[in-house]
Amino acid sequence: MGLVAPAGRVRVDCHLHTVASGDAVLTLEELAERARLAGLDVVCITDHNVTTAAVQATKRDLGVRVVVGEEIRTPDGDVIGLFLTERIPYVLPLAEVIGRIRGQQALVYVPHPFDLARSSLGRVLPELCAQGAVDVIEVFNAKIADTALNGQAADLATAFGLPGGAGSDAHDAPGVGAAYLEMPDFDGPAGFLAALADARLTGEFRDHAVRYPRRSELQRPCGEPGYIRR
């Protein structure tokens, strides 16, 4: 596949993190470079419980369009707000968080819903869908090795007639663009939601890059293979 989306279409990574998340190492400069290399047109910066980096990114010329998002921790699991205008505090009740997202005319996006290794909404998600409280379900998360979990999310989205999202969930530069949607260009949350009906998903499992050398490597004597000078 080429590195440029067809005319009138854009490539969107719906879920990724910068250093502002606290558990990520991706800088805005690295994000801009990796997005260019991956052929991305739009990135949704969805840091954990903060929007500072996403807002800052919208004010810079990074060569990629930025959607302000936030991955918000609730007692029931994580939920993402897309197209936010204000940060939403974490550990509020889920219903209140959804109400605050909707109060900003933003979108309720549910990440990695059935990944038990992370804080996920799978247990309560069917009821939320039945209530009409969900706009988008992430049907492909590039950090999930078990394809059945992404498939379970896709099946649920289909059952409730909801559009599917795709995100690299990148926390480091090598992860950016591991999953994205190619979709018609859009303007704002309503346009994004409408464009999802004609989205094509591309994704691959891409685990977190190794961030630190193993202690055994650091302790090898100088001159031996694998020695890392500090």
Confidence of residue 206 (pLDDT cuts 50, 70, 90): very high
pLDDT for residue 207 is more than 60: yes
157-176 average pLDDT score: 98
- Could you give the dihedral angle defined by the CA atoms of residues 55, 58, 59 and 62, in that order, rounded to the nearest 10 degrees? 130
Q: d(Cα 203, Cα 15) in Å, to the nearest integer?
A: 13
Distance from CA of residue 37 to its chain's centroid?
18
Can you read off the two tokens belonging to residue 146? Answer: 């078990």
Q: Which fold has domain 9-218?
A: TIM Barrel (3.20.20)
- Average pLDDT of the chain is 91
Q: Convert the pLDDT of each residue in 97-139 to its tens digit.
A: 999 999 999 999 999 999 989 999 999 999 999 999 999 999 9
User: In terms of residues, how long is the chain?
Assistant: 230
Confidence of residue 223 (pLDDT cuts 50, 70, 90): very low
Q: How far apart, in Å, are the Cα atoms of 22 and each of 26, 47, 97, 125, 134? A: 10, 9, 21, 27, 27
Q: How does DSSP classify residue 142?
A: T
Share of the chain above pLDDT 90, in %: 87
Residue 180 CB neighbour total at 10 angstroms: 33
Domain ranges, ordered by start, for the chain: 9-218
* Class of residue 90 by CB neighbours under 10 A (exposed 0-12, middle 13-18, buried 19+): middle
The count of C-alpha atoms lying within 13 angstroms of the C-alpha of 174, restricted to the half-sphere facing its C-beta, is 8
7-32 average pLDDT score: 97
